[in-house]
């Protein structure tokens, strides 16, 4: 029988995933699904990928008073991040 993943294991898997230097959108999709299933908040990790195409975010950065905008190098989508 297949062992079910528990929340601790899911968290570890997510942590490990975001420590990688590179990842594919398909792999990220799986990780997001795991996070949702276990209701794990991605928090600051959300800044690491493009909201639209799910590629690793490494693009032009511009900062305003309230937001940081990172333009996705893959699809050009502007990812807005509120500055706390």
By CB under 5 A, residue 28 contacts Zn ion: no
Tokens of residue 76, six digits: 């050009």
Nearer to Zn ion, 13 or 74 (CB): 74
Tokens of residue 11, six digits: 């968290």
Residues whose CB is less than 8 angstroms from the CB of residue 65 and which lie 6 or more positions away in sequence, other chains included? none
Which of 53, 58, 69, 81: binder of Zn ion (CB under 5 A)?
53
In whole angstroms, the minimum distance from the beta carbon of 70 to Zn ion comes to: 10
Dihedrals phi, psi of 29, to nearest 5 degrees: -55, -45
Q: Which residues bind Zn ion (CB under 5 A)?
A: 50, 52-53, 72, 74-75, 77
């Amino acid at each position: 029988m297949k062992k079910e993943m528990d929340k601790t294991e899911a968290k570890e898997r997510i942590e490990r995933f975001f420590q990688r230097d590179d990842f594919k959108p398909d792999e990220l999709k799986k990780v997001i699904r795991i996070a949702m299933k276990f209701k794990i908040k991605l928090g600051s990790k959300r800044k690491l990928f493009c909201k639209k195409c799910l590629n690793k975010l490494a693009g032009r950065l511009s900062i305003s008073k309230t937001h940081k905008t990172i333009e996705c190098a893959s699809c050009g989508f502007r990812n807005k991040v509120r500055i706390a």
